Amino acid sequence: MSRVCQLTGKKANNAYAVSHSHRRTKKLQHVNLQTKRIWWPQGNRWVTLHLSTKAIKTLDKKGLQAMAKKLELILTSIKSRSHQKDALASLL
């Protein structure tokens, strides 16, 4: 899984680690990603997303449906646990 926020698209920033002698080496500043399970009332199911902490704060303020509509994210394409359970049940 890539380290990219599914709502905002935030990803790692290229930076330099500067030593005392001012020698510069490249490093990545990764996004603070959290796996969050969110109830989606319009779809009547849970949706699991990998979100940055900034996106979680915005999500609390605006709501999942409003953010998905603004960012043109299709929530029905995201798998939920119930779909995974159905797939496992069909295999057994």
Task: Look up the CATH number of the domain holding residue 72.
Answer: 2.30.170.40
Q: Is the pLDDT of residue 92 over 70?
A: no
Split into its structural domains, the chain has a count of 1
User: Structural domain of residue 30, as residue ranges?
Assistant: 13-91
Q: What pLDDT shows up at residue 55?
A: 92
pLDDT digits (tens, 9 = 90+) for 11-48: 999 999 999 999 999 999 999 999 999 888 888 888 88
Beta strands in the chain (DSSP E): 13-18, 24-29, 33-40, 45-52
Largest CA distance in the chain: 62
- The residue ranking higher by pLDDT, 27 or 62, is 27
Mean pLDDT of all residues belonging to the chain? 83
Burial class (CB in 10 A: 0-12, 13-18, 19+), 5: buried
For 42, the 3-state DSSP assignment is coil
In a domain, 2, yes or no: no
pTM of the model: 0.70
Residue 21 and residue 35: Cα distance in Å, rounded?
A: 39
Amino acid at 8: T
